[in-house]
Amino acid sequence: MSLKDVFLQNPNRRYIMFGGKGGLGKTTFSAATAFWLAQQGKRVLVFSVDPQASLSDIFQKDIFGKGAVPIMENLWAQEIDADSHIKAYQNEIRKKILDMYGIDSIPPEIEDYIQAASAEPAMEESAIFDAVVDIVVKGDYDYYIYDLVPLGHALYYLSMAKVYDEWINRITKLRQEMREYEEMVSRIKREKETDEDQILTELMYIKNRINASSSILTDKEKTAFYFVITPEEMIILDTLKAAELFAKFDVPIGGYVVNRVLPMELRSQNVPAYLHNRLAMQTKYMDKIGETFGDQVRAHVPELERDVTGLAMIEKLAKIMYGQ
């Protein structure tokens, strides 16, 4: 089944992810898919969480950290700026502390803690994850095209939903136990019951957001993940391993797209020995891809004459992937 057929037969799949090892073409495929869907009259957001994202280069427009930027009719693109989200997160924490404790300014020792916590390595991933949750939960678009970071990091991000959920469950349980203890102490002292638990309310808010995001990313009716591969041995082996790991996180795999396929008619022409050998090697690995992934291969994309940048080249790639 072709990519176009998969989309047409699964109209409820609104969340599309392209992933693979770095440099294989996942960003260009994301852009081309978003372009094609926008041409069908769908409102589409293509967004990237990769700090080295190249959506700005592909669309030839500065979009980094600027929110959803309009590209053409029905199409918006967004590159997430983790630093700005960390700063927003810091300000949100400050505001909640001021509101919760009724003070006019943040004590220096608390400010030092906020700064130190924000400098932790995991904070950037947390900020990006939170930004993704913001995007997918709002539901402002017909389609969300998610250009993932390279495979290892992608697994980390996709696993964060489960990790966060388990953490929140434990913290929430502890807070509920503390709440019960506080109420019991109040009754013994014959004091009024404690006010609404703002901490527990906040924890439940975070939990609901995470659950909403996680349910979207693992819903086979709504979501599809496509691996981008090339006819090379290590790429095939790495993709196989990644597919097994993705399955453990219940990520619904929609198929595989083979990129950078050299035209086989070159073999009958007078080409340099190097290129002739590359073509022979490609034949071997194209056969292996067919044996390994079978009918899950959704498209074969040829090596193009130049980089995919600008709407004209994006449109050309979209026609290759989805037909005229």
- Where exactly are the structural domains of the chain? 3-84+124-159+222-322, 89-122
Q: What pLDDT is attached to residue 128?
A: 72
Q: What pLDDT is attached to residue 142?
A: 96
Q: What pLDDT is attached to residue 148?
A: 73
Q: What pLDDT is attached to residue 181?
A: 66
Assess contact for 162 and 214: CB atoms under 8 A. Answer: yes
In this prediction the pTM is 0.81
Q: What pLDDT is attached to residue 191?
A: 54
Q: What pLDDT is attached to residue 281?
A: 93
Chain length of the chain: 324
Assess contact for 292 and 235: CB atoms under 8 A. Answer: no
Please write the tens of the pLDDT for every residue from 47-81: 987 666 689 999 999 999 899 999 999 999 999 88
Q: What pLDDT is attached to residue 45?
A: 97
Looking at every residue in the chain, the average pLDDT score rounds to 84
The residues of the chain scoring below 50 in pLDDT are 193-194
CATH of 3-84+124-159+222-322, picked from 3.40.50.300, 3.40.50.12170, 3.40.1160.10, 3.30.565.10, is 3.40.50.300
Q: What pLDDT is attached to residue 53?
A: 61
Q: What pLDDT is attached to residue 177?
A: 74
Q: What pLDDT is attached to residue 175?
A: 67
Q: What pLDDT is attached to residue 247?
A: 82
Q: Which of 51, 46, 61, 59 is nearest to 85 (CA)?
A: 51
Q: Which of 260, 162, 156, 247 is nearest to 210 (CA)?
A: 162
